[in-house]
Amino acid sequence: MSPDGAPDLQDRADVAVLVDAFYRRVFEDPMIGPIFTDVARMDLDHHLPIITDFWDTVLFNAQRYRRDLLQLHLALNRRFPLEAKHFERWLALWVATVDEHYAGRKAELAKTQGRRIAGSIYRRVHGRSASDFETLQRRDAAERTAWRPPSSSSGRREEPDVG
C-alpha cells in the first residue's frame, strides 16, 4: 500500500482490473477510440483476456502472451497511419489509469514499460529501430518522424522531434 492509500499491482487479478479500466477509457476517447472501434474493430470482451496476458507477462513474467504485438500494430498502421499524437494519447490514458488505481513499485513499472512499449512500437511502425538508442546516421534520417515518450524522471512532456 502506498502512502496515499492506493495498493500496488500484486497479481493477474489487479492487471485485469487495470486493463479493463484502461480500455474502457480508450474506447470512449475521441482521438484514439475510433482507431480501436472503427478501424481495428476490436471486440473488447475478446481482447481483454489477451491484453491482460500481455501485461501479466510484462509485469510478472507470467509468460502467457504468445502473439506478435508489433505485427498487429504494423497491420493496423497500414489501414490507418498511426501518428505521434496517437501514441502520446494512448500513453497519457495509460499513465492516468495506472495512477488512478495503483501506486508502488509495480505501478511505476507499468508506466515505465508503457512508455518503452509506446516508443518502440511508434519507431517500428515508422521504419526505425525499436531501440531508443539509435546510431546518429539512422537518427538523422528519421528526424521528421521521431517521437519519444515523456520521461518519468523529468516530469516534462517531450514533443515529437520535427528536425
Domain count, the chain: 1
The domain spanning residue 39 has which CATH number?
1.10.490.10
**What digits encode the pLDDT tens for the residues 95-153?**
999 999 999 999 999 999 999 999 999 999 998 866 665 544 455 555 555 556 666 54
pLDDT beyond 50 at 161: no
Taken in order 54, 28, 101, 88, is the CA torsion positive or negative? positive
Cβ-contact 91, 84 below 8 angstroms: no
Q: Does any domain span residue 4?
A: no
> Cα–Cα distance between 151 and 144 in angstroms, integer?
20
Residue 9 burial (10 A CB sphere; 0-12, 13-18, 19+): buried
Q: What does 40-70 look like in DSSP terms, one character per residue?
A: S---HHHHHHHHHHHHHHHHH------S-HH
User: Does 159 reside within a domain?
Assistant: no
pTM: 0.79
Amino acid (1-letter code) at residue 17: V
Q: Does a structural domain hold residue 5?
A: no
Domain-located, residue 157: no
**HSE (CB half, 13 Å, CA atoms) of 59?**
28
Q: Could you list the residue range(s) of the whole structural domain that residue 138 is in?
A: 12-145
Q: Does 100 fall in a domain?
A: yes
In a domain, 17, yes or no: yes
Give me 54's grid cell: 500481455
Decide if 151 is inside a domain.
no
Report pLDDT digits (tens) over 37-83.
Answer: 999 999 999 999 999 999 999 999 998 888 888 889 999 999 999 99
